[in-house]
């Protein structure tokens, strides 16, 4: 079990590194998107290449960060029944989900995506839009993203089994820190609370 947990930590370090890199991709997407909007509105200029780059980068964020999201328990959970179970029962359900649902689906996507990627690469597939980009790099994101997700699933599975064996903490338990959704909701409510008194003051004048 100790060797498997070492493997799990190694996989987690890979997904952590990718997650930090993707954070910079988000900044690049914001810059590209805002630049496209400014040139289109202010100068009536547009470029299919820059628009497609914006879409490709969004795809990179979504696909490459999937394993990082699983690592940090930030994916959406619909716990209707499992939340009623004791902690070990919940982890057993998690193991079932990873083995029966997550990993088989990911492997199916990988199996289907490699021929599509190779066909795109060997034929030098280009975008059908005028001035568009080459297509194989964005199709490469699909197998790479799902490989990272499979690795994250294997790491998660190891930690779940380790928890049942008493070798590590519960990997499904969230940290004491608030989730990204909770922090966003607090920011939105904070802005609304700050604007509401100002609107009331303006009405009273």
Q: What is the pLDDT of residues 21-55, one digit of tens each?
A: 998 888 888 888 888 888 777 777 777 788 888 88
Closest by alpha carbon to 6, among 199, 189, 158, 163?
158
Average pLDDT rounded to a whole number, residues 159-187 = 72
Measure the CA–CA gap between 110 and 195, rounded to whole angstroms. 48
In Å, how far are 27, 53, 174 from 36, measured between CA atoms? 14, 11, 38
Note the pLDDT tens digit of each residue in 119-129: 988 988 887 77
Instruction: Identify the band that residue 205 occupies on the pLDDT scale cut at 50, 70 and 90.
Output: low
State residue 89's pLDDT score: 83
């Amino acid at each position: 079990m100790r060797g498997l947990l070492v493997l799990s930590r190694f996989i987690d370090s890979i997904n952590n590194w990718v997650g930090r890199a993707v954070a910079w991709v988000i900044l690049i997407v914001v810059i590209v998107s805002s630049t496209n909007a400014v040139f289109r509105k202010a100068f009536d200029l547009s470029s299919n290449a820059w628009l497609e780059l914006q879409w490709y980068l969004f795809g990179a964020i979504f696909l490459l960060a999937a394993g990082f999201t699983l690592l940090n328990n930030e994916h959406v959970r619909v716990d209707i029944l499992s939340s009623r179970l004791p902690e070990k029962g919940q982890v057993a359900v998690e193991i079932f989900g990873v083995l029966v649902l997550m990993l088989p689906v990911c492997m199916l996507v990988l199996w289907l995506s490699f021929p599509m990627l190779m066909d795109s690469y060997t034929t030098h597939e280009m975008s059908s839009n005028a001035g568009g980009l080459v297509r194989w790099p964005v199709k490469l994101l699909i197998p790479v993203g799902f490989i990272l997700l499979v690795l994250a699933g294997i790491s998660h599975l190891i930690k779940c089994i380790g928890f049942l064996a008493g070798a590590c903490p519960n990997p499904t338990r969230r940290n004491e820190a608030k989730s990204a959704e909770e922090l966003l909701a607090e920011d939105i409510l904070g802005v609304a609370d700050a604007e509401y008194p100002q609107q009331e003051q303006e009405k009273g004048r």
